[in-house]
Structure 1
């Protein structure tokens, strides 16, 4: 039977499907990795991976072995968490999945404070769209998730903050000027309701489509194109700070004259919140938000 270190090797190979990338992650040479894989396959009595110039592919037997390997590694991690929870102090790995916009613009300051406060704790961070964050939670891959929008979540959820949506441009000073400009409306299209919310606001106010549009799939691309004067965009306030020069930022309002905002939520299962590293992180976030808004 393979050891846990060999299970880790197989898991990394299955994630990367590439000998070079896997060897870099495992800090071993490619020949050494290839030799170890051959030994492991001999132990299992079958080929687990098919090698080709394009990389690796799992054999049917390999798929079963990898599923078993990942189950064992997940159980090992849960046992470690239980042991850490029995010990004094905050340690263990905090596994977080975060919406990319939050991971880029808000979370770093919080993580810095967490690391400084709890140096024995480790952090595993995944970023992506909010739907991907929810999948990570449902699949029990992370302890907590931080998403944008209104969550359909049956577990514990904590509202972190709301930030306004702003029309941002180098030239436009009033929303109605978008009907006059020949420059494009740069839009960020995600899998959340954010894109639809912008579309609804636009049609409610202007009853017609923009003259020109550029659609991108990364909000940072949208932001940089706007900052460089290529066009105008609608951005959440979380992506902006007070260092941008020569930019007009016009708050959007709904049909009742109320500011249009995006919510950010922290989600998780109750069992995860009982872990020391998770509860410590949640309390630190609450303190950070309290200080930020005080």
Structure 2
């Protein structure tokens, strides 16, 4: 039985009159009579008894009309839920984000987003920018947030830029780097970030560091530096502003300009048509604008 069939049965039961029911359904009496006969044939039993006073429901008819009412009620509830989808943002937002951004910048944005859109589910993965791009290309996520330059051909939004600093508890000037025996603490990163640091170092010193320590996470690198084990090059995004007894020396390029890293939000046009993705972008742009 279809929804029009359920509606027909309910109206027939309400009116108990073929003519009035036909008028409400905008059909002719013969057409309505034929539809009722076909339905009774389908169920294999009489649903109504015709009398001089009108239509009377049979016991089987009462059961089927009750079932029809239930189905129409369910249809109404489903329609209401669909209408809610139009006025509320639902679904799952899938984000792939560079680890450093996921640790230091994204949480504040996500807090505002989940407070504004509590019915949206969040799927978040973090990694290197090269891994983020791979997830985007393979359609595993809606949005990618990466560091550095990119030749992404889809939609691209610039979020912010932050400077790079040489950080240490003892070194106050870049010229002191070659005088210290303390190690240069480095963290594993994307090749473009690593190359940027290498280019600066060789342009500045024309030699290799005396000693190095390589760790797998930027947070480990930062904590080792803050605890006086050695010096490191860190982006401003990692600073909380509460650091004490730590010197931060800005890195400068060959034109004596601060070396900075860009952060981008990427995605395909089709992804930004989704309500939850569009809503997230609105929150991000509001946050960046402030």
How far apart, CA to CA, are the structure 1 residues paired with 2:191 and 2:103? 17
TM-score normalized with structure 2 length: 0.70
How far apart, CA to CA, are the structure 1 residues paired with 2:199 and 2:138? 33
Cα offset for 1:164?
0.2
For 2:78, the equivalent position in structure 1 comes to none
How far apart, CA to CA, are the structure 2 residues paired with 1:190 and 1:115? 30
In the TM superposition, what whole-angstrom CA distance separates every residue of 1:100-129 from its partner, at most 9, and x where no partner exists? 000000000000000111111110000011
Runs (4+) off by over 6 Å: none
* Alignment pair present for 1:289 and 2:288: yes
Instruction: Count residues in correspondence.
Output: 209
CA contact (8 A) 1:149 1:192 kept: no
Cα offset for 1:218?
1.1
1:256 to 1:84, Cα distance in 2 relative to 1, 3 A: farther
Cα offset for 1:85?
9.9
For 2:247, the equivalent position in structure 1 comes to 248
1:160 to 1:84, Cα distance in 2 relative to 1, 3 A: farther
TM-score normalized with structure 1 length: 0.69
Aligned ranges for residues 81-92 of structure 1 at < 5 Å?
A: 87-92=86-91
1:119 to 1:139, Cα distance in 2 relative to 1, 3 A: same
CA contact (8 A) 1:130 1:192 kept: no
CA contact (8 A) 1:85 1:276 kept: no
Cα offset for 1:192?
3.3
How far apart, CA to CA, are the structure 2 residues paired with 1:192 and 1:102? 17
Q: RMSD across aligned C-alpha pairs, in angstroms?
A: 1.4
* Alignment pair present for 1:236 and 2:235: yes
* Alignment pair present for 1:208 and 2:207: yes
How far apart, CA to CA, are the structure 2 residues paired with 1:119 and 1:186? 41
Cα offset for 1:215?
1.4
Aligned ranges for residues 25-36 of structure 1 at < 5 Å?
A: none
CA contact (8 A) 1:189 1:216 kept: yes
In the TM superposition, what whole-angstrom CA distance separates every residue of 1:40-97 from its partner, at most 9, and x where no partner exists? xxxxxxxxxxxxxxxxxxxxxxxxxxxxxxxxxxxxxxxxxxx799622111111000
Aligned ranges for residues 167-206 of structure 1 at < 5 Å?
A: 167-206=166-205
Aligned ranges for residues 36-185 of structure 1 at < 5 Å?
A: 87-185=86-184
How far apart, CA to CA, are the structure 2 residues paired with 1:112 and 1:284? 10
Cα offset for 1:151?
1.2
How far apart, CA to CA, are the structure 2 residues paired with 1:191 and 1:199? 12
For 2:277, the equivalent position in structure 1 comes to 278
SS at structure 2 position matched to 1:193: helix
Q: Which runs of 5+ in 1 are unaligned?
A: 1-82
Range moving further from structure 2, 234-243 or 84-93: 84-93
SS at structure 1 position matched to 2:140: coil
How far apart, CA to CA, are the structure 2 residues paired with 1:251 and 1:232? 13
In the TM superposition, what whole-angstrom CA distance separates every residue of 1:178-210 from its partner, at most 9, and x where no partner exists? 100010000122123111111110110111111
In the TM superposition, what whole-angstrom CA distance separates every residue of 1:8-62 from its partner, at most 9, and x where no partner exists? xxxxxxxxxxxxxxxxxxxxxxxxxxxxxxxxxxxxxxxxxxxxxxxxxxxxxxx
How far apart, CA to CA, are the structure 1 residues paired with 2:287 and 2:245? 30
CA contact (8 A) 1:188 1:195 kept: no
CA contact (8 A) 1:188 1:215 kept: yes
SS at structure 1 position matched to 2:191: coil
Cα offset for 1:251?
0.7
